[in-house]
A and B are shown apart, each in its own frame.
Chain A
Amino acid sequence: DQQVKQNSPSLSVQEGRISILNCDYTNSMFDYFLWYKKYPAEGPTFLISISSIKDKNEDGRFTVFLNKSAKHLSLHIVPSQPGDSAVYFCAASAYGTASKLTFGTGTRLQVTL
């Protein structure tokens, strides 16, 4: 039962363009969402988060959008840089279970020159 889904295993974007990574969830009890970035041979690194009471959160080049009615969130990276090439994981937490994150399977982003 995959409660957090990232349906695109990979994405290729040119440097300077926008990268949009998508994530869908099925559990309506999820109230906190996070994005992690992972480079090879390293652990996931926290990138940005959003609470279910908001529909947008921005941090520099990274913006996360949340559409609760569609149970969908997306991560926008503008402009994309070669150093952004990594695997991006979407994760969610349900109310009252803040210690447990449910992760998607990840999207591999490649930013080309």
Chain B
Amino acid sequence: DSGVTQTPKHLITATGQRVTLRCSPRSGDLSVYWYQQSLDQGLQFLIQYYNGEERAKGNILERFSAQQFPDLHSELNLSSLELGDSALYFCASSPPGQRLNYGYTFGSGTRLTVV
């Protein structure tokens, strides 16, 4: 158990629907990162939050949005879902001031299947 909790683990939904993925970071971590891994692809950075504020943005679609709440958990909202949105969605967290050489801590991911 990495300490980063993602729910649900699996999600199957239809095209056009909206889903919410949830992430609870490790205790004490202020940064939350969201990554998407499509089939046979590397992880693609979506967005980072730090202590409730958006810190960095990657190639996140306009149909996707995220937020980090005062208790530091984060939610990734995916709307108007398309078949191509089927992927593993990972959340990661890191403590304040941590240098990159220690890496992030990833959760076990949410597997989204759009049918």
Contact = CB atoms under 8 A, between A and B. Distances in A.
B42 A4 contact: yes
Interface in B66-115: 90, 92, 100-109
Interface of chain B, main secondary structure: mixed
B106 to A, nearest CB: 3
A43 interface: yes
Chain A: number of interface residues, binned into ranges: 20 to 34
Given A99-B33, A101-B45, A103-B42, A43 B92 contact: yes
A43 B2 contact: yes
Interface residues of B, number: 27
Contacts of A103: 35, 42-44
A81 interface: no
A99 B40 contact: no
B4 A49 contact: no
Given A99-B33, A100-B45, A106-B42, A51 B101 contact: yes
Nearest to A90: B42
A44 B90 contact: yes
Interface stretch (A12-20, A34-42, A67-75): A34-42
Interface in A13-64: 32, 34, 36, 41-47, 49, 51
B103 A32 contact: no
B103 A42 contact: no
Given A34-B103, A49-B100, A43 B42 contact: no
A34 B92 CA distance: 15
B50 to A, nearest CB: 8
Interface string B32-58: 010100001111110010000001101
7 contacts: A34-B101, A43-B108, A46-B104, A51-B101, A89-B43, A100-B45, A100-B48
